[in-house]
Amino acid sequence: MTQLIRPFDPWKSPLCTCREKYSLNPYTGCAHGCLYCYSTYIPDFYKLRLKKRLEQRVEIDLKKIPEKSLISISNSSDPYPPVERKLEKTRNILRLLRDYNMRIMIVTKSDMVCRDVDLLDKGAVSISITTLRDEVASLIEPGAPNPEKRIKALQRLKESGIPVILRLDPILPGLTEGEVEKIIEKCSFADHIVSSTLKLRYDSFKRLKNISGEVYRRLYFIEGEKIRNSFYMPTEIRRNILDKVKKICEEFGLSYAFCREGFNFRAESCDGSHLIP
């Protein structure tokens, strides 16, 4: 059986600034259906599948790694698809991670994470928010809970004493970049913000074409550059967008970082893992 807990390695990106951590996906595929998703190189990605003998295999892997390792759940799927409410696969995994004294980073778009607050005393929670407009969210993230639910979840977790991270990620040029200030303002109670601009692959470009028209073709494939498997906008454009994020975070006195952009930031970690006890 293949390992389920693996060293985090985002396609060997030279721009990744993450500290050493492990990645674990309780589910294969994701029902949230985000048009920009970076994981759709996995066949049938939008069709959620269960992993065979998940709990047993995770326990085998846990015995092989040091205590207090940082485990990120999930980087290539969402750990809280709707079916998790009934199946509790992610909850079972969190119990195991607690029993083996691991440090946990949850990355999700779902408010369902609040259910598991009792298992996160050695954890932090990152929630991705790309827009405050329901009509935009339902267009680009059709299966995910709406932005208001995600903000409320961040607030509830914060009130429970869990470190919370806003993932302002990805920022879609021309579509959501104008909302950056409002999103940060609404989430200014967060302990850390990590942000990035949209990266494209051919499949995500096709999915976003109805929204972006030909603009993204020019920005990414003609004027932009390819880094490993993804197309980036020109550096100057990315820098302008993220300078705005930086300026607003500084106004609010917030810790911030950028994800795989190649720009400097002063936070102790990009992903907010420095907040985990």
Question: Is residue 128 exposed (0-12), middle (13-18) or buried (19+ Cβ within 10 Å)?
Answer: buried
Determine contact, residues 45/29, Cβ cutoff 8 Å.
yes
SS (H, E, C) the chain: CCCCCEECCCCCCCCCCCCCCEECCCEECCCCCCCCCCCCCCCCCCCCEECCCHHHHHHHHHCCCCCCCEEEECCCCCCCCCCHHHHCHHHHHHHHHHHCCCEEEEEECCHHHHHHHHHCCCEEEEEECCCCCHHHHHHHCCCCCCHHHHHHHHHHHHHCCCCEEEEEEEECCCCCHHHHHHHHHHCCCCCEEEEEECCECHHHHHHHHHHHCCHHHHHHHHCCEEECCEEECCHHHHHHHHHHHHHHHHHHCCCEEECCCCCCCCCCCCCCHHHCC
- Is the Cβ of residue 169 or residue 255 nearer to ligand SF4 in the bound state? 169
Task: For ligand SF4, give the closer residue by CB, 200 or 248.
Answer: 200
The residue among 246 and 260 lying less far from ligand SF4, judged by its C-beta, is 260
Residue 79: name the closest of 121, 43, 119, 139 by CA.
Answer: 119
Shortest distance, CB of residue 167 to ligand SF4, whole angstroms? 10
CB of residue 138 vs ligand SF4: minimum separation in angstroms? Answer: 13
d(CA 250, CA 190): 13
Q: How far is the CB of 30 from ligand SF4 (least distance, A)?
A: 3
Nearest to 137 by CA among 183, 181, 105: 183
Q: How far is the CB of 152 from ligand SF4 (least distance, A)?
A: 18
CB of 264 to ligand SF4, least distance (A): 26
Our CB check for ligand SF4 shows the closer of 29 and 224 to be: 29
Q: At closest approach, how far in Å is the CB of 21 from ligand SF4? A: 17
Q: How far is the CB of 76 from ligand SF4 (least distance, A)?
A: 6
Judged by beta carbon, residue 39 or residue 160, the one nearer ligand SF4 is 39
Q: Which is nearer to ligand SF4, 230 or 255 (CB)?
A: 230
Binding site for ligand SF4 (CB under 6 A): 30, 32-34, 37, 39, 77-78, 109, 144
When the beta carbons of 4 and 254 are compared against ligand SF4, the nearer one is: 4
26 or 254: CB nearest ligand SF4 = 26
Q: Tell me the closest approach of the beta carbon of residue 53 to ligand SF4, in angstroms.
A: 23
